[in-house]
Amino acid sequence: MTNKTNGGGRTLRPATQLVHGGTMRSPFGETSEALFLTQGFVYAGAEAAEARFNGEDPGFVYSRYANPTVQMFEDRMKALEGAEAARATASGMAAVNLALMASVRAGDHVVAAKALFGSCRYICETLLPRFGVETTLVDGTDLDQWQRAVRPNTKALFLESPTNPTLEVIDIAAVAEIAHSVGARLIVDNVFATPLYQAPLKLGADVVIYSATKHIDGQGRCLGGIVLSDQEWITEEVMPFVKHTGPHMSPFNAWVLLKGLETLPLRVDRQSSTAARIADFLSAQGKVARLIYPGRADHPQAAVAKRQMTGGSTMLAFEIAGGKEAAFRFTNALDVIRISNNLGDAKSLITHPATTTHQSIGEAARAELGISDGILRLSVGLEDPEDLLEDIAEALNAV
Ligand SMILES: *Cc1c(COP(=O)(O)O)cnc(C)c1O
């Protein structure tokens, strides 16, 4: 493996890192990243095998432990995030589970923001308690609640920002300080912000996780996830968990995601600028009772968003006056924008959280999170903005 791009000693900017970062070329000198679809590796002799296994030779042993294509994806993400170490996983949920399981033992305590992706709530509320780990859920935007919830045995604080689906913005630096006051680690799920618009490690977080399924792939093809943090924790806690339980990423998916990273800035910038235009349009419509977009001055946490995010979002949430019936009429009248629960895709996708992604948490939990029956979540894609605006305008006429 040769021919790594290292910037000639200069620090390369994100868009350049996303094209070249982590590339390892085989002796063939291929332009595009090679896809190493292999389970294992062969050794030149018995001594070489011994050296691989006792760690004297750092080469590859088995693709459950590490794989060259997956390592290229991990190294590219590390360069982008400014993280010392990373482990890629089969999905975003595998990354969330890995980060939490690697942080706790029976008898420990976790504090998480309530506005979590449904499966993250399941891990916190149902799975961790089965193994003797207590979880307290708080309103993530209320720093007093975080402060009151931490205890001497709290080992991890967990949050998403902006949140799904109501795009609340949580003050990462302030929550990191509370975590560190009791010696806990702050884990941030950075899916909605993307690594381009928010750098949780620089804000004081200890661990960043992604569902690479979303903007990193961005074209609806494969699932993936990643956990990024410091070298010591990844080596001591994360690596053994991956090695012995097998939630690792497939080399094929790593290859797809490497290609996704090359175009990430182009896609996210375009999707966000279109989302900002749609947000401005919707804010002026009488049939829209509420509009939430992190890039706007009327966002409930606009000051925090401005401090910790460098861009708006590809996502917006809005409430159609008239509840579920009006929201359904609107979504059914859309033609270009498709109904789906996914996000971050090249195709614009709309979700009615109350009846889909957030159906199972129940009416009381939805009310607490501000997910009314009229709320819709829109993930803005790469279509021509004019076509999306016309699609929305026509659908509003149908309400
Ligand atoms: C989608 C998503 C996940 C889960 O990722 P998968 O790749 O679907 O497993 C976790 N957190 C957030 C914020 C997400 O949007």
Q: Tokens for 345?
A: 């895709």
**Final residue of a domain: which of 262, 281, 298?**
262
Q: Answer yes or no: do 247 and 272 share one domain.
A: no
> Is residue 231 a part of any domain in this protein?
yes
pLDDT category at 5 given cuts 50, 70, 90 is low
Examine the pLDDT at 371 and tell me if it is beyond 80. yes
Residue 268: count other Cβ atoms within 10 Å of its Cβ.
Answer: 22
The predicted model gives 143-158 an average pLDDT of: 98
The confidence score (pLDDT) of residue 6 equals: 62
Q: Is residue 329 part of a domain?
A: yes
Last residue of a domain, one of 235, 262, 289: 262
Statement to judge: residues 325 and 244 lie in one domain: no
Q: Are residues 171 and 31 in the same domain?
A: yes
Residue 135 pairs with which residues in a beta bridge? 110
* CATH code of 233's domain: 3.40.640.10
How many CB atoms lie under 10 A from the CB of residue 19? 17
Residue 281 placed within a domain: yes
230 and 333 co-located in one domain: no
Q: How many domains would you assign to the chain?
A: 2
Tell me, yes or no, whether 296 and 208 share the same domain: no
Q: Are 132 and 257 in contact (CB under 8 A)?
A: no
Could you read off the pLDDT of 158-206 as tens digits, one per residue?
A: 999 999 999 999 999 999 999 999 999 999 999 999 999 999 999 999 9
**Pairwise CA distance, residues 116 & 127, whole Å:** 15
Tell whether ligand 1 has an atom less than 6 A from the beta carbon of residue 214: yes
Q: Out of 241, 262, 283, pick the residue that ends a domain.
A: 262
Per-residue pLDDT tens digits for 291-332: 999 999 999 999 999 999 999 999 999 999 999 999 999 999
**Atom 7 in ligand 1: which residue has the minimum CA distance?**
92
The whole-model pTM stands at: 0.96
The verdict on residue 241 lying in a domain is yes
**What single-letter amino acid sits at 146?**
W
Q: Give the atom of ligand 1 at the shortest distance from the alpha carbon of 191.
A: 13
Residue 96 Cα: closest atom of ligand 1: 10
Flag whether 165 is in a domain. Answer: yes
Q: What is the pLDDT of residue 2?
A: 53
CA distance 77 to 226: 9
Q: How far is CA 128 from CA 89, 134, 371, in A?
A: 20, 7, 25
**Does residue 6 form part of some domain?**
no
353 lines ligand 1 (CB under 6 A): no
Q: Which residues contact 236 (CB under 8 A, 6 or more apart)?
A: none
| Mean pLDDT, residues 339-348 | 97
What value, to the nearest 5°, has the Cα angle with vertex 83 and ends 63 and 275? 100
Per-residue confidence (pLDDT) for residue 10, from 0 to 100:
80
CB-based contacts of 231, cutoff 8 Å, min separation 6 = 84, 85
What's the CATH number where 344 sits?
3.90.1150.10
Task: Report the nearest-CA residue for atom 2 of ligand 1.
Answer: 211
**So what's the pLDDT on residue 352?**
97
Pairing of β 338-339 and β 85-89: unpaired
Does the CB atom of residue 388 touch ligand 1 within 6 A?
A: no
Q: What is the pLDDT of residue 1?
A: 60
The rounded distance, in Å, linking the Cα atoms of 348 and 189 is 22
- Whether residue 379 has its Cβ less than 6 Å from ligand 1: no
Q: Within this chain, do residues 272 and 249 fall inside the same structural domain, yes or no?
A: no
**pLDDT tens figures, 6-59:** 666 788 899 999 999 999 999 999 999 999 999 999 999 999 999 999 989 999
Average pLDDT across the chain, whole number = 96
C-alpha span between 230 and 398 (Å, rounded): 52
> In this predicted structure, what is the pLDDT of residue 199?
97
**Vertex 235, ends 195 and 171: CA angle to 5°?**
35
Alpha-helix runs per DSSP H in 284-361 = 302-308, 323-333
73 and 203 share one domain: yes
How confident is residue 3, by pLDDT bands cut at 50, 70 and 90?
low
Q: Which residue, by CA, sits nearest to atom 13 of ligand 1?
A: 191
Assess whether the C-beta atom of 190 lies below 6 angstroms from ligand 1. no
Same domain, 114 and 175: yes
| Average pLDDT of span 251-268 | 98
CB 158 within 8 A of CB 306: no
pLDDT score of 118? 83
Helices and strands (H and E) in the chain: how many: 16, 12
Domain of 232, in residue numbers: 11-262
Residue 80 clears pLDDT 70, i.e. is over it: yes
Q: Are residues 206 and 276 in the same domain?
A: no
Reference 197, options 166, 167, 226; nearest CA is: 167
Residue 3 lies in a domain: no
Give distance in angstroms: CA of 214 to centre of ligand 1.
7
Q: Are residues 224 and 280 in the same domain?
A: no
Residue 399: band (very low, low, confident or very high) from pLDDT cuts 50, 70, 90: very high
**94, 236: one domain:** yes
Q: Is the CB of 211 under 6 A from ligand 1?
A: yes
Domain assignment of residue 2, yes or no: no
Angle at 20 between CA 17 and CA 21, to 5 degrees: 55
Q: Do residues 271 and 133 both lie within one domain?
A: no
